[in-house]
A and B are shown apart, each in its own frame.
Chain A
Amino acid sequence: MLYLFFAHDHDVPSPTAQSYFRNVQIYNLPPTATPTATLTYTPTATSTNTPTNTSTPIPTNTLPPPNYGGSGICWASKSSWSSYTVSYSIDRTTIPTSLGWDDSIHSSAQTWNNIEPSHFTLVFSTTSSNIISNGQTQNQFSVAETTPSPLFSWTSITGKSTILNSSLSWDTNNTPLPNNLESNGSTTTFNVQNAMTHEFGHWLDLWDISDEGCSRVTMWHEGAPGEIKKITVENADELAINWQYP
């Protein structure tokens, strides 16, 4: 008897992941046929539409208050916003539309909005005081930095802003190499959507992750030229937002 095995290697000291497989189709091929497998990667769709939340609409006043200070394997969080909807704006003096970064930034927000069952939504607004800009970071070795609002609250986040390091070169190419789905092949430029998906995670007050075995998560603390793996959130990132903003 021959068996076909499906396995999931959750490569951490205390594995907890479960695997689900669907749409598995098995064919009997003629003896002369050569089976081939094709892996197709579909990059996150870019769109000129501004972010929306695709989960089932629930009146805001019926949602439970957001959680804070959670942690799990490959994720951790601290504070939370008091609201489930947070706006962001783009600093047009440093990121003009001609730079072509808008779709990457909006898609980064949409990636978090798409996670279900969380009802958290990032919304683009030209008047928001939560600003994304391209400028000098405090530390020249930062790809990007996110800082909290000066309007302090003991219990919740009141604002965030992100600076993408203007001394670095940037790209908006989300197409992976055929042999490396985690890179667009650039050795000199950093990907806008890759960095912004990570930074929007900080807007949710998810922490940088540096634990062994967690380097694939969006909130992994380091980035490299050409890297695009943070564009796609991992299970731990989803657990984080779903716990923080149920």
Chain B
Amino acid sequence: MKKFIFITLITVLGLATLFLTLSSNEKKTITLRSDALLISFDIDALIKEADLIVIGEIKTILPSRWNGPNGRSDPKNASPDEIARAHGLFTDSLISIKQTLKGDIVKPIRVRSFIGETDTLRWENKSEPVYVLGKTYLLFLAQDTGATAKVEPGDYVSVGAYQGVYEIVDGRAISADDEWVLEDLIAYIEQSLSAETPASSTDLPAEAFTLTPEATELPVETTSPTP
């Protein structure tokens, strides 16, 4: 009888341990990080480069997606390996516009950030803005022309990633490396826009965005040198 109880106890404990292990594994999230060297923008360059400059509140943060093959964007059935091969996740946020300082807005604004999270994968990038639901931002936005632009086109990205995102806190506009009294920043933007060409030391000329020559040469295999 004691032997039966002992075996039963061991079996129950074993099953419980197995269940707990499987449960914890299911919840484990892999964190991967991409790094970007950003083009540097000062305030004048941000104003010049932006298609839209708006003040708005983050109303909705949509589920993260990825730029998968054959138009797949729902990461539900994609492995972390597949997502990493496609250079990670991205997340769109919907913004309720309170004030427009530059550009014409014809529909709700969807802003993309190249970070995200699913049940199994967390994708980080220190350069990318992390929008917080309910917070208000002054945003320098440009139409997305990057690698994921084809996934539900029409989204915007912040100019220079984190550089074009100013959180509004107590009447101040604060970015990662800049801070203004909000009214002063708005006045400066309006003044710059009313002038023909805002002066800037780091304006990026249009020529900097021209395409490099198309590759025409086929791969040439050579032997690997000994280190």
By a beta-carbon cutoff of 8 Å, the part of chain A in contact with chain B is 50, 52-53, 78, 85, 87, 92-99, 121, 123-127, 134-152, 163, 166-170, 187-190, 195, 198-199, 202, 207-208, 210, 221-225
Contacts and interface: CB of A to CB of B under 8 A. Distances in A.
B37 A139 contact: no
Interface string B15-42: 0000000000000001011111111110
Contacts of B30: 152
B161 A141 contact: yes
Q: Which of A53, A92, A170, A221 has the most CB of B within 10 A?
A: A221
A152 B80 contact: yes
20 contacts: A53-B227, A93-B218, A123-B224, A123-B225, A134-B215, A139-B161, A140-B142, A141-B159, A142-B37, A148-B32, A148-B33, A150-B80, A168-B39, A168-B208, A168-B209, A188-B205, A189-B208, A199-B35, A223-B37, A223-B40
B87 A95 contact: no
Contacts of B131: none
Given A167-B209, A189-B208, 15 more contacts: A52-B227, A92-B215, A92-B218, A123-B225, A127-B224, A136-B147, A138-B88, A139-B114, A140-B142, A142-B37, A146-B34, A188-B208, A202-B35, A207-B126, A221-B126
Contacts of A121: 227
| Interface of B, helix, strand, loop or mixed by DSSP | loop
Contacts of A146: 34-36
A99 B213 contact: yes
B85 A195 contact: no
Contacts of A199: 35, 37
Interface string B183-205: 00000000000000000001011
A138 B205 contact: no
B222 A126 contact: yes
A216 B211 CA distance: 29
Contacts of B90: 138
Interface of B: 30, 32-41, 80-85, 87-88, 90, 114, 126-128, 142, 144-148, 157, 159-161, 176-177, 202, 204-205, 207-213, 215-225, 227
Contact of A170 (B85, B157, B159, B212): B212
Contacts of A166: 211-212
A150 B215 contact: no
A199 B37 CA distance: 8
B87 to A, nearest CB: 5
